[in-house]
A and B are shown apart, each in its own frame.
Chain A
Amino acid sequence: MHSTHRRRLILFIVVGAVLFYFSSRVGILRLYQGSTVSMYVIAIGSIILLTGYSGQISLGNGAFMAIGAYVAVLSQLYLDLPFFLTFFVAVLGAALAGLVLGIAAARLTGPYLAGATLALAVALPSIANLFPVLGGEQGLGYDSGNAPSLFGEVARFKWLFWISSLAALITCLLLQNILKSRYGRAWKSIRSNSVAAELTGINAAKSKVLAFVLSAGIAGLAGAVLTMSLGTVSPSAFPLSLSFALITGAVIAGISSLLPGSLVGAVVLVGMSQLVGALTTRFEIGDVLAQNLKELIVSALLILAVVFTPNGPGEKIREMRDHRKHHSHGGHR
């Protein structure tokens, strides 16, 4: 095994152990928030791979989450799969959908792809109402099982947190390795110059489809994790605003920063609710304002981030350091 791989693996185990330790020392709210953060880390990771690396934009990753979620639930209902296997099936199902759309999308650029994925995000949840087997608006239940008896009696939220954070850790580890591999480099070179990349022997179309498939699969996993924490799946869990929130999360800390980017984005998304809640009680803000304050702040943050640190704070800091070093002048227009 490669030494960087091993280092990453060790880090992953250490972080896992730390999380495991803390899971017994915090309250239910924190555990629930931890699960949500994990779900977002996975989902944002799928955007970072797709947009930050392969340069494609998807407004439909919420739809791939929905596919993953429904596949997980259906495989439990009809195939009686044990619940950890439903996660695998969820990934496969969403990846398959990603393959179908990805092959079509490989010929589409920027705005056309945005259009196709946007239409998908709107179309997909409504399918649940068309086929009775999908349970309509009420949706279907999902049994997230119990911790193996070897851990003794484990509270539900603690168990959910274990599963989601484990899923997030594994996703990050895998993604980290993929992004640092030759595939990751290929995506980057296609993004910056697809003609030049083709000349060096990279098949741009195939490579883009691969990114699309992986991204969809990861989003599917996030969908399964979401369903597990909710204990149910329904179309209303995957509104268009979910897809938009994922993009926000991915942009805040730099669209091509998997770590800590996806974690920062996820914490911001989850923390914002709490922050706004605190502000509301502290300053006795009226209901109407309070309900919309979160979206206002998140959206404003998105705009500020993309204007002031377009490629993330990391790049900004590097830029400022370089600037001081070279003391270069003259703007580019």
Chain B
Amino acid sequence: MEKLISASLIGLSQGAIFALMALALVLVFRSTRVVNFAQAGQAMVSTYIGWEVVTRTENYWIALPAAALAGALLAAIIETFLMRPLAKRASHGAIAPVASIIASLGVLGVLHSGAAMIWTTEQKLFESPVSVNGIEIGSTVYPFSQADMLIISTVVIVMLTFAFFFQRTSLGLSLRAAAFQPEISRLAGVRVDRVRTIGWALSGAAGAVVGVLVTPGNYLSPFSLDILLVYGFVAAVIGGLESPQGAALGGLILGMSLSFTSIYVSSGLTFIVPFIVLLLILLVKPKGIFGGGSSRNA
């Protein structure tokens, strides 16, 4: 019973992180058809910005929005100055289907090495505003801390805010329309290019929040968020790459699978579980759980 509760709680907290990372990837993919591997690097650089803020102000609650802002800005720059021109330049030939993936790998490398030059590869600590120790109930200590609760509640708040924004605001409607049917949206007067940049910016902010949430309790280095990219991507693919709900579900499935296998089977399986879960789901649904409904022109 204790084991079951522990596994569920850990799974929930990990799942929340994966879900938010997945959401960041989904936001970019659905609006521009780009699988953005640079997301890990963008989140990492934003988290360093947050770390700089924390070391100066000693206030986590200023660092979080500061990092989100930095993430949004960085993403908007990448979209405007790299991805948008690339979409036009590499639209034909053998490179066309993979150009954006490849460019995003290049960006990831630049951010990795750039960050290592600026902040060195030495691990940086990022204090959590709340306790990172397990919660004691009765005589048992659960591997679930206030920091985990912070993660879960922040992710839930961010997700609900996104849902409200997309469903209830004009800008959200523009974003959805431009993602589904860019041409019709243009004809309706939506400034699709601008809206896409906003989509990237939101994604960058979400990624930054992921970084600032997970780093306390761990450490920060130029490579420390890379593995989250893999998990986030797997979660996004499980969910179908296009749907925010899919991202949330994918994150939860992955988080639970990981925590249950590591508690009930072996913690050595951490890297293999995502691959197996992904393969199993893709074998049944090659376009993820929520994906592949309608065919659309990009």
Residues of A within 8 A of B (CB): 51-53, 55, 57, 104, 107-112, 114-116, 118-120, 122-123, 125-127, 129-130, 191, 240, 244, 247-248, 251, 255-256, 288-289, 291-296, 298-300, 302-303, 306-308, 310-311, 315, 333
Contacts and interface: CB of A to CB of B under 8 A. Distances in A.
Contact of A112 (B93, B227, B272, B287): B287
22 contacts: A110-B97, A110-B98, A111-B29, A112-B286, A116-B275, A116-B282, A118-B233, A119-B233, A122-B271, A123-B274, A123-B276, A125-B271, A130-B272, A292-B116, A295-B109, A295-B113, A296-B114, A296-B117, A300-B106, A303-B82, A306-B102, A310-B93
Contacts of A129: 268
B124 to A, nearest CB: 14
B93 to A, nearest CB: 4
A304 B230 CA distance: 25
B237 A111 contact: yes
B86 interface: yes
Interface string B277-298: 0110011001110000000000
A251 B95 contact: yes
B102 A122 contact: no
Nearest to B237: A115
Nearest to B110: A299
Contacts of A119: 230, 233-234, 274-275, 278-279
Contacts of A53: 94
Interface of B: 29, 35, 82, 85-86, 88-90, 92-99, 101-103, 105-110, 112-114, 116-117, 120-121, 226-227, 230, 233-234, 236-237, 241, 266, 268-272, 274-276, 278-279, 282-283, 286-288
B278 A116 contact: yes
Contact of B230 (A122, A296, A302, A308): A122
B93 A311 contact: yes
Nearest to B118: A288
Given A247-B102, A315-B93, 18 more contacts: A55-B97, A57-B97, A104-B279, A115-B35, A115-B237, A118-B230, A130-B269, A248-B106, A255-B98, A291-B116, A292-B112, A292-B116, A299-B112, A307-B90, A307-B103, A310-B90, A310-B96, A311-B90
Question: What are the 10 tightest A-B residue pairs by CB atom distance, in nearest-first order?
Answer: A299-B109, A310-B90, A302-B106, A303-B106, A311-B93, A123-B275, A115-B237, A126-B271, A296-B113, A292-B113
A60 B120 CA distance: 28
B26 to A, nearest CB: 11
A61 to B, nearest CB: 13
A10 to B, nearest CB: 29
B244 to A, nearest CB: 16
B70 to A, nearest CB: 20
Nearest to A308: B89
Given A57-B98, A240-B226, A307 B89 contact: yes
Contacts of B96: 310
Contacts of B86: 306-307, 310
Contact of B275 (A55, A120, A256): A120
B272 A127 contact: yes
B94 A302 contact: no
A104 B287 contact: no
Contact of A288 (B103, B117, B230, B287): B117
Nearest to B109: A299
B271 A310 contact: no
Contacts of A51: 94, 98
Given A111-B237, A123-B274, A299 B116 contact: no
A95 to B, nearest CB: 19
